[in-house]
Chain A
Amino acid sequence: MKLTLHVWRQKNASDQGRMETISADGVSPDMSFLEMLDLVNDRLEKEGVEPIAFDHDCREGICGMCSLMINGVAHGPEAGTTACQLHMRSFQDGDSIHIEPWRSRAFPVIRDLIVDRASFERIQHAGGYVSVNCGGAPDGNAVPISKIEADLAMDAAACIGCGACVASCPNGSAMLFVAAKVAQFAHLPQGQPERKKRVQAMVATMDAEGFGACSNHYECEAVCPKDIPVKFIGELNREYLRTACGD
């Protein structure tokens, strides 16, 4: 396959950045999207041109490192798939592909397709935990947890923290990300003691970091590579309301 790539190039945070057109030759349909970029980068380097910088690590769809806007869609055209798990057989010979970084006020660009997601970290620091010291925990089976609740907690906990939800939201909202963490703990007995404090602290930090509000576009759910459902945003809203009502 032969493709034409339109790629965002930006040397560093202070550079303005621009789209550049780069051709990709000899692409095989069995390649992953990132392997296609490897191929292009190998050629660029041999020509003495700086390779396209992009984030990646596990290439198995679990670390949440890869973060590409592909033709305007976070992680590209396949539902429930990260960019690293997307294969070139989803494209046609001769296609033009636009590749951009996540765009959000809260995710400044570091270089080319790489953004800084430290704002996600700070939300987690604010309350994404159960306050339990190591040692002295009761037996794992001391408190039974119904399979239904455990499964719901797991559905939420599957979030890989990639930021696709923010990148795809017209408001740049991080609600789905925050909802996933809050819901995981809300469904478990271990999360109960700090339930109110957690939701308040995480939402306050989310707001302070410059993420937008949710106005029910549900773009986040559509692009989430782990299919985290928006019903968790409803749960987040309820959790937040409970704290306001003093329940």
Chain B
Amino acid sequence: MNFHLNSKIPDGPIQEKWIKAKFDLKLINPANRRKFKIIVVGSGLAGGSAAATLGEQGYDVHCFFYQDSPRRAHSIAAQGGINAAKNYPNDGDSIWRLFYDTVKGGDYRSREANVYRLSEVSANIIDQCVAQGVPFAREYGGQLDNRSFGGAQVSRTFYARGQTGQQLLLGAYSSLNRQVDKGTVKTYPRTEMLDLVTVDGHARGIITRNLVTGEIERHAADVVIMATGGYGNVFFLSTNAMGCNATAAWRAHRKGAGFANPCYTQIHPTCIPVSSDHQSKLTLMSESLRNDGRVWVPAAKGDKRAPNDIPENERDYYLERRYPSFGNLVPRDVASRAAKERCDAGYGVGETGLAVYLDFADAIQRLGKDLVEARYGNLFHMYAKITAEDPYKVPMRIFPAVHYTMGGLWVDYNLESTIPGLFVLGEANFSDHGANRLGASALMQGLADGYFIAPATVPDYLAREGTMNADEKVTTHHPAFEEAEKSVTDRVEKLLSIQGQRTVDDFHKELGLIMWNHCGMERTKESLEEALKLIPALKEEFWKDLKVVGDKDSFNMSLEKAGRVADFFELGELMVRDALQREESCGGHFRGEHQTEEGEALRDDDRFTFAGVWQFKGNDKAPQLHQEELQFPNVPLTTRSYK
């Protein structure tokens, strides 16, 4: 199998690369566009915006998603905001600063040219969303309001109360609806992609299962776009929605798409702690809380007094102590590790000892309860509902949780994977965040990919490689479709035929725990090697002892989950391999052996300034690692310091 990593970064100064690329990319005459069929899998910010925009351009777009409406994609859950280099507050922001912050925040493991482009188009995203009627927060004078968000020293985050993702997604959804009304986009709700079809090495279609009828269907197209989100649910417990999965990406990987940096996972510092083993998911409390809340633990080990009984001088505001210049606003990876460090050392609070306090007493005193309520009312309300505690009176308890995956399918500058004709957008690609994503940058990236980048690069592929001649187009009668459909059907039947003793959730929880304990916030050679024994053993048991009731020809939630968990096993193993291979600490990847004396992440730039891209070699064969060297001519490598 062909496997080149040609990043296709355009020549020239970084400020001119995207301008040059857009000029060099080939175009398709408006009259001919409807002759090209485009499959978009995913209707979140990335998929929804891409489908709508390509529909506007006149292509024949088909958009698939597993929920009953595009508006329910998991982008809907994003709370805090979206970054853009508008510099409306005139506090020193610029495209260059957003670019610089993102490269540095990513711990120098992203591709400079992509990040620059992201910063460059960020301002257009806000304009586009405003034009769609997204009700962003405004100031009294009618201008857009901004706030500062985790790790940034400027206020560049736009928001819509605590529901920014919802409002941005409803914006993309409305554009999609307009195209559905016009007939350029057709939607396929409750439909899950179970395989990618390639013909002569190019992506030419997908195999899906209709989740209502169980029907397995073939769909051919001139190009396939995947925007299927992240894979945080490998850990079972995460802030992702229950249905978030890696199946589409993993199936594409097995068909030849390189998987980059799978070990880069982001653990978000401010989530509601796990209360017991019945828990099905973790709830994120927006990072914006750290703008006014102060994080602390008791200064004495095992202090079990109620938080309000612990006097000021017996508290350890450890973030302010360790990072005087950023304090409570250090980036996510730093804040999460610091919380884990305190809990591991025996200073954790709450029943499990796996929590730290986030305290608003000072803020309430300084700003008044009304203002605190205006800023965070909905979050306080949510917290109270889940924990039955009142955060206006008692400090919140928080703990880090799996939140975002920086790894994903490898893409070049044009967002094309190693399979020609397969483009990957949003959280599903390995993208622009390197080893750590800054707050409010995922929404920005998803919409940059979908509104501005794919609509320029996908037509170029069609112009170069596509055909307008109906007789030359691949149809679903091609043997490749036959073969892919058969393998999907066989797998579904296999899952149903095992009829063992253990349920899917049972296996998923056990896998999640292995991943969390061995490949979570801190990994070591030892823990990873152990995981490489545990995961395959559990996977084997899964295929022998799984129990799925019901049949394949009707709505069957357990069957859906079983397919997803089967893929999580394979991906989980690859994540561990990747973490083992990367003998350094960077961003969200923290190897216990590689830290400074103060416990900070220690990169090894000489050996690891590359994106690790894995090639699938077969079921029982070890995958092969390839490297895309990363260069930093514009943002010189330095040690990230938030002291």
Contacts and interface: CB of A to CB of B under 8 A. Distances in A.
A85 B278 contact: no
Interface string A8-43: 000110000000000000001011101100110010
Nearest to B172: A134
A110 B243 contact: no
A169 B127 CA distance: 39
Contacts of A28: 276, 278
A137 B280 contact: no
Contacts of A49: 549
B435 interface: no
Interface in B168-187: 170, 173-175, 177-178, 180-181, 187
B585 to A, nearest CB: 31
A50 B553 CA distance: 14
Interface string A180-191: 000011001011
Contact of A38 (B53, B189, B280): B280
Interface stretch (B10-18, B29-37, B66-74, B309-317): B66-74
Interface in A78-114: 78, 81, 85, 87, 89, 110-111, 114
A81 B269 CA distance: 25
A125 interface: yes
Given A63-B77, A63-B241, A87-B385, A50 B549 contact: yes
A158 interface: yes
Interface string A49-60: 111010111111
Contacts of A216: none
| Residue in B72, B135, B136, B140 whose Cβ sees the most chain A Cβ within 10 Å | B135
Given A111-B554, A118-B68, A62 B132 contact: no
Nearest to B158: A140
Contacts of B72: 57-58, 63-65, 161
A190 B130 contact: yes
Interface stretch (B141-149, B197-205, B218-226, B485-493): B141-149
A243 B177 CA distance: 23
Contacts of A59: 241-242, 280-281, 283
Nearest to B88: A141
B334 interface: no
A71 B558 CA distance: 26
Interface in B85-109: 86, 88
| Residue in B49, B166, B452, B505 whose Cβ sees the most chain A Cβ within 10 Å | B166
A100 B548 CA distance: 24
Contacts of B549: 44-45, 48-51
B173 A56 contact: no
B42 interface: no
Contacts, number: 210
A117 B503 contact: no
Interface in B421-463: 451-452, 455
Interface in B292-311: none
B557 A118 contact: no
B277 to A, nearest CB: 10
Nearest to A29: B388
Contacts of B189: 118, 121
B51 to A, nearest CB: 11
Contacts of A144: 138, 141-143
Contacts of A188: 133, 135
A98 B241 CA distance: 26
Given A59-B281, A140-B86, A30 B69 contact: no
B270 to A, nearest CB: 14
B88 to A, nearest CB: 7
Nearest to A154: B135
Contacts of B501: 46
Contacts of B163: 62, 158
Contacts of A161: 69, 71-72
Contact of A62 (B166, B180, B506): B166
B330 interface: no
B68 A65 contact: yes
Contact of A140 (B130, B452, B503): B130
Nearest to A146: B142
Given A12-B555, A110-B212, A141-B144, A58 B76 contact: yes
A160 B52 CA distance: 21
Contacts of A65: 67-68, 72
Contact of B174 (A42, A116, A129): A129
Given A58-B241, A144-B143, A157-B170, A87 B135 contact: no
Contacts of B548: 45
B138 A46 contact: no
Given A57-B241, A137-B130, A137-B131, A63 B74 contact: yes
B382 interface: yes
A57 B283 CA distance: 13
Interface in A112-138: 114, 116-118, 120-121, 124-135, 137-138
Contacts of B455: 134
B126 interface: yes
A46 B547 contact: yes
B373 interface: no
B228 to A, nearest CB: 14
Interface in B366-408: 382, 385-386, 388
Contacts of B53: 134
Interface in A146-166: 146-147, 150-151, 153-154, 157-158, 160-161
Contacts of B283: 59-60
A35 B279 contact: yes
A166 to B, nearest CB: 14
Contacts of B69: 64, 117, 120-121, 161
Contact of B242 (A56, A61, A133): A56
B128 interface: yes
Contacts of B56: 133-134
Contacts of B557: 51, 53
A34 B280 contact: yes
B137 interface: yes
Contacts of B167: 154, 157
Contact of B74 (A30, A57, A111): A57
Given A38-B280, A56-B242, A58-B76, A157 B135 contact: yes
Contacts of A110: 212, 555
Contacts of A116: 68
A140 B126 contact: yes
B275 interface: yes
A60 to B, nearest CB: 6
Contacts of B324: none
Given A158-B161, A190-B131, 10 more contacts: A38-B505, A125-B180, A130-B132, A131-B178, A135-B124, A140-B86, A140-B136, A151-B135, A157-B170, A191-B133
Query: 4 tightest A-B contacts by CB?
Result: A144-B142, A129-B174, A137-B131, A153-B135
10 contacts: A48-B547, A48-B549, A51-B550, A51-B558, A110-B555, A130-B133, A132-B132, A154-B137, A158-B161, A190-B130
Interface of A: 11-12, 28, 30-32, 34-35, 38-39, 42, 44-46, 48-51, 53, 55-65, 78, 81, 85, 87, 89, 110-111, 114, 116-118, 120-121, 124-135, 137-141, 144-147, 150-151, 153-154, 157-158, 160-161, 184-185, 188, 190-191
